[in-house]
Amino acid sequence: MRILIVEDEKSLAAEIKHFLEKEDYNIDVAPTGLQASELIAINPYDFILLDIGLPDYNGLDLIKEAKEYNSEAYFIVITARGELEDKIKGFDLGADDYLPKPFSLLELLSRIQAITRRKFGHKDSVIEFGGFSLDTTKKHFQFKEQAINLTKKEYKLLSYLVLNKNRVLDRLQLTEHIWGDFYEDDYDSNYIDVHIKNVRKKLAEYDETNWIKTIRGIGYKFEM
């Protein structure tokens, strides 16, 4: 998943970025509202972690602007300001959570995971289909009691498809949300197709159900 950190405290932004990248998130950082606005206009984000007290912007105003370009993004407001009025306004504008400084990075991760499950309609961190179970917290995949060995990229691809169950995702969406901008200029290559083929092969070793449907000319859909 792709996350934008909008934070003018460089050390804090770097700390969050390093931590979330170790959790396999793709991270962009914007120290100002203007830079954040430019990134939001051209990139799709799953999450936007937003500081209110930016040097050039009211962070709450940025939520309203961001909704025009990233209507499906989730917002966590991160700020030292704790006034009730700010919280209410943030939630009214579409913020999904509010995390006051200082905070634990593990708590931030927990909130990101909880919001992800809630938004995609999953109550628990373990998602089951057929005899398979996908643990989105431990990043573990298994069939019944047997662990299935997926590469890091295969796991990211499968988990993103499962979270977006019954929704058609095109190759550009999969590329940008899972691998960032690495294939920005060549998103119609067969890179995604090769990984889909590998995931399908591993699933078929345990269950012949065609879970991942090809949507001709568009992309893929996970049906469950």
- Label the pairing between strands 212-215 and 132-135: unpaired
In CATH, what number does 126-222 get?
1.10.10.10
Sign of the CA dihedral running 193, 198, 204, 206: negative
pLDDT at 122: 73
DSSP label at 49? E
Query: What is the average per-residue pLDDT within 151-163?
Result: 91
163 contact partners, CB below 8 Å, separation of at least 6: 116, 120, 122, 127, 136
Q: Which residue has the higher pLDDT, 71 or 142?
A: 142
Residue 202, pLDDT above cutoff 90: yes
How far CA 71 is from CA of 35, 102, 103, 166, in Å, comes to: 19, 28, 27, 19
Per-residue pLDDT tens over the stretch 161-184: 998 889 999 888 888 777 765 544
135 three-class SS = strand
For the ranges 2-11, 58-67, 160-169, 190-199, the lowest mean pLDDT is seen at 58-67
Kindly indicate the confidence band of residue 189, based on its pLDDT and cuts at 50, 70 and 90. Answer: low
pLDDT digits (tens, 9 = 90+) for 65-99: 888 887 788 899 887 766 666 677 777 777 888 88
CATH code at 2-119 = 3.40.50.2300
In a 3-state reduction of DSSP, which class is residue 139? Answer: coil
| pLDDT recorded at residue 66 | 83
Structure token pair of residue 162: 């499962």
pLDDT over 50 (residue 9): yes
Residue extents of the structural domains in the chain: 2-119, 126-222
